[in-house]
């Protein structure tokens, strides 16, 4: 089975600025994704993308929502159609005439699988947050206090333990940080701070 998308161009440039509303995006998430853990992962990545756009890049509300939307929907088809990940969500968003920037970011979140290189800053940050967010969440679940008191060095230690969250690719994390030109340390600290604070619930 190959998830290669076989193309490099996504969406229509004349759709720039088109987004789903928050309600529409959430309805899609709930319709397509039944697995609560996956839902939480998508919400967490969406939250990180929004926080990065707003706080680190100083983007306005409209642009920030584009970043959040890419994060929120990047795995939308993984639960029900894993063999069509991320073809199905891309085609859906193209049908809905969504901004190509968002579609491209989703299409490049796993370049080894989909054959699309992360190029824009949105692409690169989605790629960078995806794996690392999951590893840090897994770490929070094994700590009595969750994110409370979590430190950079604890996360770095888990990263070195190959058996911890073994499905999370350390190579991808290293590669993503390099591409995004963000140090692993800074990214971990950012995720601890923002993911820990987020009140997202998978079941809302």
Give the CA distances from residue 131 to residues 20, 112, 119, 159, in Å, rounded to whole numbers and listed in that order: 25, 14, 18, 11
The residue behind tokens 């692409």 is 123
- Of the candidates 131, 128, 126, the residue with the CA atom closest to the CA atom of residue 106: 126
Q: Does 43 bind Fe ion (CB under 5 A)?
A: no
- The CB-based long-range contact list for 81-84 (8 Å cut-off, 24+ gap) reads 83/1, 83/3
Q: Which stretch binds Fe ion (CB under 5 A): 28-36, 49-57, 73-81, 99-107?
A: 73-81
* Shortest CB 175 distance to Fe ion, Å: 15
* Residue (43 or 130) nearer to Fe ion, CB: 130
- Of the candidates 160, 200, 167, 171, the residue with the CA atom closest to the CA atom of residue 43: 200
End-to-end C-alpha distance for the chain, whole angstroms: 34
* Shortest CB 140 distance to Fe ion, Å: 17
Residues 125-184 that bind Fe ion (CB under 5 A): 130
* Residue (72 or 192) nearer to Fe ion, CB: 72
* Residue (19 or 105) nearer to Fe ion, CB: 105
Question: Can you tell me which of 75, 77, 101, 123 binds Fe ion, judged by CB under 5 A?
Answer: 75
* Residue (68 or 130) nearer to Fe ion, CB: 130
- Contact residues for Fe ion, defined by CB under 5 A: 75, 130
């Amino acid at each position: 089975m190959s998830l290669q998308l076989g193309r490099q161009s996504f969406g229509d440039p004349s759709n720039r600025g088109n987004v789903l509303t928050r309600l529409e995006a959430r309805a899609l998430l709930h319709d397509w994704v039944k697995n609560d853990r996956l839902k939480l992962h998508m919400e967490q990545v969406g939250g990180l993308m929004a926080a990065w756009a707003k706080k680190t890049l100083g983007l306005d509300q409209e642009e920030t929502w584009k970043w959040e939307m890419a994060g929120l929907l990047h795995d939308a088809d993984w639960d029900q159609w894993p063999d069509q990940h991320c073809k199905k969500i891309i085609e859906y968003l193209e049908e809905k005439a969504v901004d190509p920037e968002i579609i491209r970011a989703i299409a490049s979140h796993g370049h080894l699988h989909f054959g699309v290189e992360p190029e824009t800053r949105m692409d690169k940050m989605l790629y960078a947050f995806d794996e690392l967010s999951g590893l840090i969440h897994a770490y929070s679940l094994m700590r009595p206090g969750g994110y409370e008191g979590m430190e950079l060095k604890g996360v770095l230690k888990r990263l070195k333990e190959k058996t911890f969250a073994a499905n999370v690719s350390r190579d991808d994390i290293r590669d993503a940080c390099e591409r995004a030109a963000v140090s692993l340390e800074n990214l971990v600290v950012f995720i601890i701070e923002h993911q820990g604070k987020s009140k997202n619930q998978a079941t809302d």
